[in-house]
């Protein structure tokens, strides 16, 4: 399903998880707080994301890490999903 938990030294764990059913939005969540939301935009030849930073997210000293790591993980996840889809399409087309 994707996602995971980042344990920072001396801090609370923060979770990266899908924010909607279609997994086009992802969010870092720490308890009731959602400091960073990613709205992914993946196309045939390109990938990207819009990053929304909440007011309480601006105060975080680890904000640059959350943005860079979150974006990187979302891109890797999108590549894995695309590879799995391409493999299943190849298997279906060669077996029929």
Using 50, 70 and 90 to split pLDDT, how confident is the model at 88? low
**Tens-place pLDDT, residues 19-37:** 998 888 999 999 999 999 9
3-state secondary structure the chain: CCCEEECCCCCCCEEEEECCCCCCEEEEEECCEEEEEEEEEECCCCEEEEEEECHHHHHCCCHHHHHHHHHHHHHHHHHHHHHHHHHHHHHHHHHC
pTM: 0.78
């Amino acid at each position: 399903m994707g996602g995971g938990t980042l344990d920072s030294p001396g801090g609370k764990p923060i979770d990266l998880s899908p924010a909607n059913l279609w997994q086009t939005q992802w969010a870092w969540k720490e308890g009731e707080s959602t400091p960073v939301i990613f709205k992914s935009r993946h196309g045939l030849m390109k990938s990207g994301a819009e990053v929304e930073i909440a007011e309480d997210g601006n105060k975080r000293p680890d904000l640059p890490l959350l943005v860079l790591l979150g974006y990187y993980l979302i891109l890797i996840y999108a590549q894995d999903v695309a590879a799995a889809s391409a493999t299943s399409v190849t298997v279906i087309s060669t077996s029929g």
